[in-house]
């Protein structure tokens, strides 16, 4: 199981407001390229996002199902990656003063990625999810629509601007 952790200069609620806005999904998820639809119930447990991954002309239509929605602590998503298979992605957020620690864990459930040795899957996925957390920090700290202003409101610059991606 690949794990990444990042300290963000925002409240846990800011992270969850980004996650709750399904239309922002391709802005923070590496590989997602466009949104096709957001289920009316999103982000409720069992609701679905309809998006695509890849680059034109090689786009694959995909869905992601919300399996656990427990703001401001935990969300578990299940992206269905067409020929790549299904993954389980857990996002855990804990307050730390006026900031928060965000942990993302990903594991394959079905498909060819499940056949990869753990060390290979983890290395590739940690690299990708470092960028995913970097993008999520821009949105949550930077005051994406529906957030409370993120790090600027706290009088700090975004960690996404100051810190390099730790791969």
Kindly state whether residue 15 falls inside one of the protein's structural domains.
Answer: yes
Average confidence (pLDDT) over 134-158: 71
Instruction: Average the pLDDT over 41-45 and give the result.
Output: 98
Is the confidence at residue 44, as pLDDT, over 90? yes
Domain span holding position 90:
2-30+70-142
- The total of structural domains in the chain comes to 1
State the Cα–Cα distance between residues 69 and 24, nearest whole angstrom: 17
pLDDT of the residue at 41: 97
Residue 42 lies in a domain: no
Q: Which pLDDT band holds residue 160 (cuts at 50, 70, 90)?
A: low
- Domain contains 55: no
pTM of the model: 0.87
Higher pLDDT, 152 or 51: 51
Any domain includes 48: no
- Residue 9 belongs to some domain of the structure: yes
Q: Please provide the average confidence, as pLDDT, over all residues in the chain.
A: 88
**pLDDT at 147 (0 to 100):** 60
CATH code of residue 86: 3.30.530.20
Q: What is the pLDDT of residue 107?
A: 95
Cβ neighbour number for residue 41 with a 10 Å cutoff: 12
Is residue 12 in a domain? yes
pLDDT surpassing 50 at residue 2 = yes
Tens-place pLDDT, residues 119-132: 988 999 999 999 99
Residue 72: both structure tokens together: 């401001």
Decide if 13 is inside a domain: yes
The yes-or-no verdict on residue 167 having pLDDT over 50 is: no
Neighbours of 76 (CB within 10 A): 17
Cα torsion 123, 129, 133, 134: sign:
positive
Look at residue 120 and tell me if it is in a domain. Answer: yes
Kindly give the residue spans of alpha helices, DSSP state H, lying in the chain: 12-20, 25-28, 118-142, 150-154, 159-162
């Amino acid at each position: 199981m690949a794990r990444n952790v990042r300290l963000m200069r925002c409240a846990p609620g800011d992270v969850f407001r980004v996650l709750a806005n399904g239309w922002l999904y391709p802005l923070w998820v590496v590989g997602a390229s466009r949104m096709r639809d957001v289920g009316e119930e999103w982000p409720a447990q069992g609701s679905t996002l309809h998006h695509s991954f890849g680059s034109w002309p090689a786009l694959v239509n995909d869905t992601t199902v919300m399996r656990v929605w427990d703001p401001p602590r935990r969300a578990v998503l299940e992206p269905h990656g067409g020929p790549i298979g299904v993954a389980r992605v857990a996002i855990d957020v804990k307050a730390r003063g006026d900031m928060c620690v965000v942990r993302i864990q990903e594991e394959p459930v079905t498909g060819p990625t499940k056949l990869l040795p753990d060390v290979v899957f983890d290395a590739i996925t940690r690299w990708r999810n470092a960028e995913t957390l970097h993008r999520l920090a821009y949105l949550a700290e930077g005051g994406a629509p529906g957030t409370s202003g993120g790090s600027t409101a706290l009088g700090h610059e975004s960690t996404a601007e100051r810190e390099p991606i730790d791969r």
